[in-house]
Structure 1
Amino acid sequence: MNQLIQTFQNQQGQFWQALLEHIQISLISIFIAILIAIPLALLLRRYPRVAEPVLQITGIFQTIPSLALLGLLIPFIGIGSLPAIVALVVYAIFPIIQNTYTGLEQIEPSLIEAATAFGMNRRERLMKFELSLAMPFIMAGIRTSTVMVIGTATLAALIGAGGLGNFILLGINMNDVSLILIGAISSALLAVIFSGLLKFLEKAKIKTIIISFFIGLLVLGGSYYQPQAAKHPEITIAGKLGSEPAILINMYKDLIEHDSNIRVNLKSNFGDTTFLYNALKAGKIDIYPEYTGTITSTFLKTPTESTDPAVVWQKAETGIKALNQFAYLSPMKFQNTYALAVKSDFAKKHGLTSISDLSKVTNLTAGFDVEFANRTDGNLGLKRLYGLDLNVKTMQTSLIYKALNTGAVEVAEVYSTDSQIKQYDLTVLKDDKNLFPPYQAAPLMKESLLKKYPELKRILGKLSGKITDQQMIEMNYEVNVEQKSPAQVAQDYLKAQDLI
């Protein structure tokens, strides 16, 4: 519990922003669903023959897995809030339309006949008593949709729409239970609160409900209002999940705002490689730090055979420029590449300093994820280049460090700047035969942005060749273990290096 409270205190700034994003996405989706579903239910009541097929179709939409629906929407409407809202509206419509239609159908025909006998037309009957009688059903449908939407909205973080799902994704990525609990508990509490408010409105008069609806719309609109700031150029810098990208983008922000009049909007933990790359192409973000090896292997589809960092960066720089007219600036010194690690006492006992030294120890058990176990620059390369025949146990990446720390495995696949290297007192073995490709981080942006703000090359170039592997490990450790904010860690480094 103490760890959970401490994590929440350290994440307060990001938490309130994520909570606001979550509420905005959820409420927009619910309001749109209400505006679609209730009129549609009224229309179906007039044409009962098509009611059942329409209800069946809207019900089928709910059977589509949410992740699959988001994936289907991305090619058509991109990433961010819009596809998330569209998907949530699709899920929210069915309970509202079904309950509204059912509520209206439950009205006694004798009441309608009596109202008709008194000279009421269809609109008058609807407004004077039909909606009132059906309202408990309608509100129950809205409650169901609201709870479902608030829970499903956590997936919006997968496509860069923000929300409480960011904490869940970051917690999974960092194997941090506290972050996962913050996201999950907050989402659950939010659903309970809104369900309670709607339960209270079930017994209210129609006028009160309509007024509440419009007040909700006004509050939602007001939440997007931002005071007019001083007129400065503004750019958006985003980062992948994890502490390292968060530290880097904060360094970019500090340097840019210190040396220019450009203001920087940060989007940390924005998503994985694919979403950031597509967001950059779509102009939703302006800069993000990318790794040289990722560009050559993932985007250019032609991994270089060279393990010379300068050669790999040059290929990445020219290749991404030709592919998308992107500018890729000079990289930092550290490499967040694959590495093999052992416990430091194990390394001392067996005299291990390099991967070649592992051949001196027999019957070694290694913990690899499935991808690394089958990569040519992973386990297959260890067999070919180093002649190692390890007893491999495949497991999720988040479990590898625990397995190494508990002695379940003696050797583990790691990333060379992970904070767990310091946390668990590990020794990273030197890749003495250069199996693993270079993965150096550098700013990636459109060439058009660099033409608009040419000073960015000079400003961000101050980090070129800076930050060693050990310095990056220390900074990741400060964020992940000591719970310091990435902004503070980034600023401390820049000041220590006299860069700001």
Structure 2
Amino acid sequence: MRSPLAAAALLAAATLLTGCGLQSANTFVPQAEPGTIRPIGADGAEIVVGTKNFTEALILGKVAVIALQVAGFDVTDRSGIPGAAPARAAMLGGEVEVQWEYTGTGWLNYLQMPEGIPDRQEQYEAVRDADAANGLTWLPPAPMNNTYAFAVRSEAVEELGGVASLSDIAALPVEQRTFCVESEFATRGDGFEPMLEAYGIPLGDPQGVPRENVSVLDTGAVYTATDGGVCNFGEVFTTDGRIDSLDLTVLEDDRGYFPAYNVAPVVLNGTLEEHPEIAGVFAEITPLLTNEVMIELNRRVDVEGEDPADVALDWLVSEGLVTRG
């Protein structure tokens, strides 16, 4: 668990990185009216929603802001907190009251547990129970699981013998076991090399995956290199919009190597005690957030260049959760 001293250090890091406290990258929020989400008697109570500064977090943050405004809160939008440590510090310090977070991130990064838990429900319950001592409540997670995976260009699936899972790679000739990975994943203690060990094709083994079969690239370049055939298998994140836009096929992690990274709303205990209806607002949202939904929402921002707030509102309206203002 985090000590008060550690929390203070993290909070100081947040202030340092933002220059003068938490800053919002884009506070534009389109107007919305009730749909299935109705006013809950908040009567304009103030609440602060935070997000980290990558596409998926920004979209989900706007979803939360719009939903809570419709529910009757006066919401301060702290979109775009620069990084995981400042985002965590903001919650521990009480500067942010509501934030989406990933179960695997909470468990491995924040609580510093040595291993992730592949089972989604077990991972959620473990981080929920452990983080309660830090004054945080993890509400039930969404089906979407933004974890690591490997993908292949769809037109090559049949050329590679109908490959559908990571285990299938072991059946391919060694020269076809080519990979593109980002530098962090290539060196993580729970990353690429132990993954290959888990699937019986060890790195550096002439009968496994020779080192010359591996290209270490920047994150964005991994997707385009995989699509272009530089390698057969590229490291991806399972809700990235480029999976669909480049027509990549994600392979099944059939041995359950990768930890679960389901996204869940995290709320300060005091805020939830004062407004327990918040849980009901998110209960209408989280079951609808699947990998397929998030891939499309991310694609609209990263590929089509749309504003995260507009994408968030469109999705909420399409599900009948809110109506346009």
TM-score exceeds 0.5 = yes
| 1:326 aligned partner, one-letter code | L
Residue in 2 that maps onto 1:294: 105
Whether 1:309 aligns to 2:120 is yes
Residue in 2 that maps onto 1:423: 245
Is the CA contact 1:304–1:312 (under 8 Å) kept in the aligned structure 2? no
Is the CA contact 1:340–1:428 (under 8 Å) kept in the aligned structure 2? yes
Whether 1:337 aligns to 2:159 is no
Whether 1:352 aligns to 2:163 is yes
After TM superposition, the structure 1 = structure 2 runs for residues 168-317 of structure 1, keeping only pairs within 5 Å, are 232-258=44-70, 260-304=71-115, 306-317=117-128
| 1:497 aligned partner, one-letter code | E
The TM-score with structure 2 as length reference comes to 0.81
Residue in 1 that maps onto 2:199: 386
Residue in 2 that maps onto 1:149: none
Cα distance, 1:374 vs structure 2: 3.2
Larger Rg: 1 or 2? Answer: 1
Shift of the 432–264 alpha-carbon distance from structure 1 to 2, 3 Å rule, reads: same
Cα distance, 1:77 vs structure 2: 7.3
Whole-Å Cα distance in 1 between the matches of residues 259 and 288 of structure 2? 19
Shift of the 441–392 alpha-carbon distance from structure 1 to 2, 3 Å rule, reads: same
**What is the CA deviation profile of residues 289-308 of structure 1, one whole-angstrom value per residue up to 9, with x for unaligned ones?**
10000111112222556421
**What is the CA deviation profile of residues 167-217 of structure 1, one whole-angstrom value per residue up to 9, with x for unaligned ones?**
xxxxxxxxxxxxxxxxxxxxxxxxxxxxxxxxxxxxxxxxxxxxxxxxxxx
Shift of the 484–352 alpha-carbon distance from structure 1 to 2, 3 Å rule, reads: same
Is the CA contact 2:10–2:86 (under 8 Å) kept in the aligned structure 1? no
| 1:353 aligned partner, one-letter code | A
Whichever structure has more helix as a proportion of its residues is 1
Whichever structure has more strand as a proportion of its residues is 2
**What is the CA deviation profile of residues 97-128 of structure 1, one whole-angstrom value per residue up to 9, with x for unaligned ones?**
xxxxxxxxxxxxxxxxxxxxxxxxxxxxxxxx
| 2:156 aligned partner, one-letter code | F
Structure 2 unaligned runs (5+)? Answer: 1-7, 27-42, 202-207
Is the CA contact 2:120–2:260 (under 8 Å) kept in the aligned structure 1? yes
Whole-Å Cα distance in 1 between the matches of residues 319 and 231 of structure 2? 39
Whole-Å Cα distance in 2 between the matches of residues 401 and 156 of structure 1? 34
Structure 2 residue matching 1:249: 3-state secondary structure: helix
Q: Percent identity of the aligned residues?
A: 29
| 2:98 aligned partner, one-letter code | I
Cα distance, 1:367 vs structure 2: 1.3
Shift of the 427–491 alpha-carbon distance from structure 1 to 2, 3 Å rule, reads: same
Structure 2 residue matching 1:340: 3-state secondary structure: strand
Cα distance, 1:403 vs structure 2: 2.1
Residue in 2 that maps onto 1:143: none
Cα distance, 1:339 vs structure 2: 0.3
Structure 1 unaligned runs (5+)? Answer: 1-73, 85-154, 165-230
| 1:332 aligned partner, one-letter code | A
Is the CA contact 1:377–1:435 (under 8 Å) kept in the aligned structure 2? no
Structure 2 residue matching 1:274: 3-state secondary structure: helix
Shift of the 347–77 alpha-carbon distance from structure 1 to 2, 3 Å rule, reads: closer
After TM superposition, the structure 1 = structure 2 runs for residues 148-163 of structure 1, keeping only pairs within 5 Å, are 156=19, 160-161=22-23
Structure 1 residue matching 2:185: 3-state secondary structure: helix
Shift of the 301–421 alpha-carbon distance from structure 1 to 2, 3 Å rule, reads: same
**What is the CA deviation profile of residues 228-256 of structure 1, one whole-angstrom value per residue up to 9, with x for unaligned ones?**
xxx82121211112221111111112222
Cα distance, 1:405 vs structure 2: 2.7
Whether 1:327 aligns to 2:137 is yes
Paired residues, number: 288
Whole-Å Cα distance in 1 between the matches of residues 127 and 301 of structure 2? 29
Whole-Å Cα distance in 2 between the matches of residues 79 and 275 of structure 1? 6
Q: RMSD over aligned Cα, in angstroms?
A: 2.5
Whole-Å Cα distance in 2 between the matches of residues 160 and 418 of structure 1? 26
Is the CA contact 2:104–2:116 (under 8 Å) kept in the aligned structure 1? no
Runs of 4 or more consecutive aligned structure 1 residues displaced over 3 Å after TM superposition = 74-77, 159-164, 303-306, 374-377
**What is the CA deviation profile of residues 116-143 of structure 1, one whole-angstrom value per residue up to 9, with x for unaligned ones?**
xxxxxxxxxxxxxxxxxxxxxxxxxxxx
Cα distance, 1:498 vs structure 2: 2.3
Whole-Å Cα distance in 1 between the matches of residues 244 and 285 of structure 2? 24
Whole-Å Cα distance in 2 between the matches of residues 263 and 485 of structure 1? 22
Structure 2 residue matching 1:78: 3-state secondary structure: helix
Is the CA contact 2:107–2:116 (under 8 Å) kept in the aligned structure 1? no
| 2:57 aligned partner, one-letter code | P
Whether 1:370 aligns to 2:183 is yes
Structure 1 residue matching 2:235: 3-state secondary structure: strand
Structure 1 residue matching 2:215: 3-state secondary structure: strand
Structure 2 residue matching 1:335: 3-state secondary structure: coil
The TM-score with structure 1 as length reference comes to 0.54
Structure 2 residue matching 1:360: 3-state secondary structure: coil
Cα distance, 1:326 vs structure 2: 0.8
Cα distance, 1:414 vs structure 2: 0.7
